[in-house]
């Protein structure tokens, strides 16, 4: 007798993304600042200090139609938290981040992506940060996120393949069923190509990330990365690897107002480039710095139309 499939087993995030185009959430950092986080403050600590404010931000993204939420754990490695005096609370902060994101979905099905950001240091031999310490930091954070029940690990805003490689290895060791590897690119001075701060081109990143065993190759943040720029990076990814792709561009270029960076690209302006991005092969579309739930709602409408027309 053949056992029936277990209906309680959740479909893997990247398998769902193969079936239809998905929408990710938007900015967290700029939303936390609007909610009262002081400049230079530790937004990740709000997972245990002001969880209701983090929850409110993520609930707005769910109401706007996000299929997945990235946990408020971007700077929640022990290395980063030590700078704020919260290193000993690393596990608690990360696991609270997963619980808050899960709670934001309520009874609706959605995917929680455990967010892992860069360590804010240059690895040896180019810098003075020990590779062993970086490996340990990524492993501990990835384990904390997976133990709390994250559906995937998303390694964000990376500029170095060496650091990205360590983070992917840590996510694999932690048992992440889906690993998303996201690089941050800047538009070159002459406006002709995109490259990370450490000199990595999208083609090289795609080849490296696929070889390391991630499931999705992505891009987020970066100077000059809008939907049109994201489309060019996705096209390069698709030409150099067979992985699914994800894009999270900023809401335009920031301007300084009152000492703060303000992003003024409207939802309508942002989504004008989404159809071309989807045609280029982006499987998951979200947004980054300066975006709001209104941007997510606008993206949702375009993605829904694209899925209907397929």
Tokens of 218: 């992505």
CB-CB neighbours of 5 under 10 Å = 7
pLDDT tier at 8, thresholds 50, 70, 90: low
pLDDT tier at 263, thresholds 50, 70, 90: confident
pLDDT tier at 5, thresholds 50, 70, 90: very low
Could you tell me if residue 226 is inside a domain? yes
Could you tell me if residue 249 is inside a domain? yes
Of 260 and 130, the structure prediction assigns the larger pLDDT to 130
Task: Report the alpha-carbon distance of residue 150 to residue 292 in Å, rounded.
Answer: 23
What stretch of H or E contains 166? Answer: helix 161-173
Could you tell me if residue 55 is inside a domain? yes
Quick: pLDDT tens for 185-221. 999 999 999 999 999 999 999 999 999 999 999 999 9
pLDDT at 151 over 60: yes
Mean pLDDT of the chain: 95
Structural domain that includes position 123: 20-309
Cα–Cα distances (Å) from 154 to 41, 98, 138, 207, in that order, read 23, 13, 12, 18
What CATH code is carried by the domain that includes residue 141?
Answer: 3.20.20.330
Choose the weakest-confidence range: 155-164, 174-183, 222-231.
222-231
| Bridge partners, 70 (sequence order) | 113
pLDDT at 2 over 60: no
Tokens of 120: 């804010």
Could you tell me if residue 15 is inside a domain? no
Quick: pLDDT tens for 127-150. 999 999 999 999 999 999 999 999
Task: Report the alpha-carbon distance of residue 115 to residue 80 in Å, rounded.
Answer: 13
- Mean pLDDT calculated for residue range 232-244: 98
Q: How does strand 68-70 pair with strand 260-263?
A: unpaired
Could you tell me if residue 8 is inside a domain? no
19, 283 contact by CB (below 8 A): no
Q: Which of 204, 134, 215 is nearest to 181 (CA)?
A: 215
Could you tell me if residue 27 is inside a domain? yes
Q: Which of 255, 191, 181, 184 is nearest to 216 (CA)?
A: 181
CB-CB neighbours of 301 under 10 Å = 15
DSSP state of 24: B
DSSP state of 44: G
DSSP state of 129: B
Could you tell me if residue 168 is inside a domain? yes
pLDDT at 261 over 80: no
Length of the chain, in residues: 310
Global pTM exceeds 0.75: yes
**pLDDT the model gives residue 1:** 37
Tokens of 87: 């290193």
Beta-carbon contacts of 288 under 8 Å, excluding residues fewer than 6 positions away, are: 26, 27, 220, 221, 248, 249, 250, 251
DSSP 129-177: B-HHHHHHHHHHHHHHHHHTT-SEEEEEEE--HHHHHHHHHHHHHTT-S
Could you tell me if residue 1 is inside a domain? no
**pLDDT the model gives residue 204:** 98
Domain count, the chain: 1
Tokens of 143: 């384990």
**pLDDT the model gives residue 254:** 79
pLDDT tier at 3, thresholds 50, 70, 90: very low
- Mean pLDDT calculated for residue range 237-251: 97
């Amino acid at each position: 007798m053949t056992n029936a499939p277990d209906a309680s087993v959740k479909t893997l995030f990247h398998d769902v993304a193969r079936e239809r185009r998905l929408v990710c959430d938007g900015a967290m950092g700029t939303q936390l600042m609007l909610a009262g986080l002081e400049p230079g403050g530790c937004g990740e600590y709000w997972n245990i200090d002001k969880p209701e404010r983090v929850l409110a931000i993520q609930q707005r993204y769910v109401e706007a139609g996000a299929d997945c939420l990235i946990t408020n754990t971007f700077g929640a490695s022990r290395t980063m938290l030590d700078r704020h005096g919260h290193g000993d609370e690393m596990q608690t902060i990360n696991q609270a981040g997963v619980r808050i994101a899960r709670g934001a979905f309520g009874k609706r099905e959605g995917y929680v992506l455990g967010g892992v950001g860069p360590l804010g240091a240059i690895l040896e031999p180019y810098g003075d940060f020990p590779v062993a310490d970086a490996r340990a930091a990524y492993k501990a954070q990835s384990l904390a996120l997976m133990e709390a029940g994250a559906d995937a690990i998303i390694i964000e805003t990376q500029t170095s393949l060496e650091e990205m490689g360590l983070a992917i290895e840590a996510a694999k060791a932690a048992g992440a069923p889906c690993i998303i590897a996201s690089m941050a690119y800047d538009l070159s001075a002459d406006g002709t190509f995109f490259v990370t701060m450490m000199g990595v081109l999208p083609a090289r990143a795609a080849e490296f990330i696929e070889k390391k065993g991630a499931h999705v190759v992505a891009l987020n943040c970066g100077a000059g990365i809008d939907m049109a720029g994201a489309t060019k990076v996705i096209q390069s990814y698709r030409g150099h690897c067979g992985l699914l792709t994800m894009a999270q561009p900023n809401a335009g270029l920031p301007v300084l107002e009152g000492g703060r960076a303000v992003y003024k690209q409207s939802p309508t302006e942002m989504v004008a480039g989404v159809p071309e991005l989807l045609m280029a092969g982006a499987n998951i579309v979200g947004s980054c710095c300066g975006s709001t739930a209104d941007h997510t709602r606008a993206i949702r409408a375009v993605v829904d139309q694209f899925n209907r027309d397929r």
